[in-house]
Amino acid sequence: MARRGGRIDLASLAGSVGDNSSVDNKPATEPSKNPSVNTLANASTYMDGQLLADVPLGELIGNPRNPRRRIGDLSDLSTIAERQLQPGVAVTRSTWLKIFPADEKLIGAARYIVVNGNRRLAASKEFGRIGMDVVVRDSIATSSESILEAAIIENIGRSDFDVLEEAEAVHALVAECGSADAAAQRLGRSKGWVSQRRALLKLSPELQEKLRGGELAIRLARSLAQVPLEGQVKAWRAAQERAEKHSAEEGSTETDPPTEISSSSTLVTAKAVRSLRSLRKVGVNPEVLASALREIYSAEEQRSLRDALEQ
């Protein structure tokens, strides 16, 4: 079902068969042997939402358009060898090829493409499972935008999802949708969040690696992305020096935040921080501050603020 802002909740799609109960040992429903039943006109009605249990792994393939290039550690899914608690979400080969005809060689002989559940598919192979349960949802494959959107939504918020892969995926969705506004609406995010993610792609290769490795905080990375490419590393080192100085001078309430980069926008940030510290000193609690912000910010600006606070 679609959530507010057009976001597709794939978990709820799979949840139609029960999130907390095993779907193993349910009989697989095979497509009709009658060719008239499986025509393009009737395929969506017949297949959409259908649970297929223990589909042989050879008939499944992970989403070749998945923005996630690294599957990561699968040890948390090792129990899938005995029991799969939640099915993946897949689309049929014919539906996929109508959108991506150039992918025919990539998907080989696979009958279904897993859009949600690529880690479960990898774990099934890793830990010796013979088949995997999937819910067929051709209705989510209406366009290249919907496929990319589904893949991004599956991974957004995962601690092991590379933030730069996420940024590349968001950038690709903007290109598919034609604008950042349209992409933000499809993802149920603010335009500011979309812009912040895309900005990370402007970082120098050296800083991208530091961001990927956890040496560079995403908040600072967004500021560094505003600096000309040739000056980013120097600005990062200067920020590190300020951070060390700030740590040494801990206790001074007027010290500027260590993550600021010299620019007009960060001067405004410094003034805002001092103002907020003053409010805190006089006892203004978060609820009162939130009420005041709702009075002066639009709904879109409030979403941007929420996204920024989550970082």
68 and 186 share one domain: no
Q: Which amino acid is at 120?
A: R
Strand partners for 61: 113
Q: Say if 164 falls within a structural domain.
A: no
Q: Say if 179 falls within a structural domain.
A: yes
200 and 133 share one domain: no
Q: Give the 3-state secondary structure percentages of the chain, helix then strand then coil, rounded to 5.
A: 60, 10, 30
Q: In what order do the strands lie in the sheet with 50-56?
A: 50-56, 131-136, 88-92, 112-116, 60-62
> Where among 134, 158, 182 does a domain terminate?
158
pLDDT at 158: 61
298 and 181 share one domain: yes
Strand partners for 214: none
Burial of 71: CB neighbours in 10 Å, binned 0-12, 13-18, 19+: middle
112 and 195 share one domain: no
> Where among 93, 124, 158 does a domain terminate?
158
Per-residue pLDDT of the chain (311 residues; tens, 9 = 90+): 444 344 444 444 444 443 333 344 433 334 433 333 333 333 444 468 889 999 999 999 998 887 776 777 788 889 999 999 889 999 999 999 999 999 999 999 999 999 988 889 999 999 999 999 999 999 988 888 888 887 777 667 565 567 887 888 888 888 888 888 988 888 888 888 888 889 999 999 999 988 888 888 888 888 898 899 888 899 888 888 887 777 666 555 444 554 445 444 444 455 566 666 666 665 667 777 776 777 677 776 777 777 667 65
DSSP 51: E
Domain residues for the domain of 289 are: 172-247+255-310
Q: Give tens-digit pLDDT for 120-157.
A: 999 999 999 999 999 999 998 888 888 888 777 766 75
201 and 126 share one domain: no
